[in-house]
Amino acid sequence: MTDNRERTDFDEEIDRRAVPALKVHPMVLGEGGEGLFAAGVADMDFKAPQVVRDAMQARLDHGVFGYEAVPGGLYPALCNWQKNRHGWALDQAHILRAPNVLNILAIAASLFTDAGGGIIVQPPVFFDFYDVVQENGRVVVENPLILRDGRYCMDFENLEALVADPRNKMLYLCNPHNPVGRVWTRDELRKLGDICARHGVLVVSDEIHGDVTFAGHDYTPFASLGADYAQNVIIALSPAKSFNIAACCSAFAVIADEDRRKAFQVENSRLTVNKNNSFASVAMLAAYRDGGPWLKDVMEYIAGNLALMRDRLAGIDGVELIEPEGTFLAWLDFRALGLSPDELTTFLRQKAGWAVTRGQAFGKQGEGFARVNIACTRARLEKALERLVKSLREE
């Protein structure tokens, strides 16, 4: 059968500076950063799927942008996506809309933990977890991941001790994990879930990277583990990463526990964050309904970029690729260079011409590392890798 669908040219260089994109904005790159390899912000340099752009254009052509309800097909499309791709029989009644994933984490913290209480995180982990906890008057409690033979794993013994403390009532899970790229297995998630449930600790799971996994590594929605696990989790979902629509979509909170879901609804109303954006709605509906082929294509392209990075860095002294199982983010270990965090930043910026996310932003466990976004054109990545390898050989 012939595949006649329109394909995205992922090799097309698109000027991100034509719009105020954060990745290339002076507030991120700093002064004199125009020529740097901009690989810090976690979005793609590729056009969104044609089906999404067509849906948004059709909505624009309608010309009336008054208040709107959620499109009738959006929740069924999300449920079908989860069922068909991840085997999760998501109950539509458990879904609430939210402006973004971090909003879900923040509301969960304010509703289901006490001021001054602890929220457990697993560093090195997405830096905004720290901000959300602290800005809501809670305390960050660290359950650091263990790096063993080039692969991260959870420290369940330490976690058991932390959840036994009655002051710690919540755990923020990153599934798949940003920045280390782990796609947690069913057994790992069950073990974490069992430990938390025994001590009455609520899991809040950021699963925004769930669709972005590499061959051989399957994302497991935490709630798909079974009814008991679903009752003790709040899941944050969004197609923002999967389809590169972070600036024009929203998020979904999935809450099976009825009391928590009602509390969330009340809080959404109190904060008036329960309004709908027509462009976000049509973008998400088109993505979940028709975006599968584009996602397959883009993941093949990103896998090719990962292969390029793996090849170029093999045998190069001073850097080690922590092999990602998911996300379009590479976690690079530069500790062998013996540089301080500030010295490493200076080296990457001034010698290699890289503007990446400093490892220490993800917790002290990230010192000596850097997170690099590889969802860019292959030509750009190859040029950046050439500069890095040359700089490392001169170091």
Q: What is the pLDDT of residue 77?
A: 98
Strands in 168-174's sheet, in edge-to-edge order, are 95-98, 251-255, 233-237, 202-206, 168-174, 118-121, 139-142
Please report the pLDDT score of residue 3 as a whole number. 61
Tell me how many degrees the CA angle 76-77-79 measures, rounded to the nearest 5.
Answer: 60
Per-residue pLDDT tens digits for 344-394 = 999 999 999 999 999 999 999 999 999 999 999 999 999 999 999 999 999
- Give the DSSP per-residue string, 213-240: B-TT-----GGGG-HHHHTTEEEEE-ST
User: What six digits make up the tokens of 246?
Assistant: 């972070």
Determine the distance from the C-alpha atom of residue 361 to the mean position of all C-alpha atoms in its chain, rounded to a whole number.
Answer: 15
pLDDT at 9: 95
User: Residue 321's pLDDT is what?
Assistant: 98
Sign of the CA dihedral with 168 first, then 170, 174, and 175 last? positive
The sign of the dihedral angle between the CA atoms of 252, 257, 262, 267 is: negative
User: What's phi and psi for 244, nearest 5 deg?
Assistant: 55, 50
Q: What is the pLDDT of residue 90?
A: 97
> Which domains can be identified in the chain, with CATH numbers?
16-48+292-394 (3.90.1150.10), 56-290 (3.40.640.10)
Q: What is the pLDDT of residue 222?
A: 98
**Strand ranges inside the chain, DSSP E:** 37-38, 95-98, 118-121, 139-142, 146-148, 151-153, 168-174, 202-206, 233-237, 251-255, 320-322, 329-333, 354-355, 357-358, 369-373
Segments of the chain scoring below 50 in pLDDT: 1-2
Structure tokens at 291: 């975006």
pLDDT of residue 5: 65
pTM: 0.96
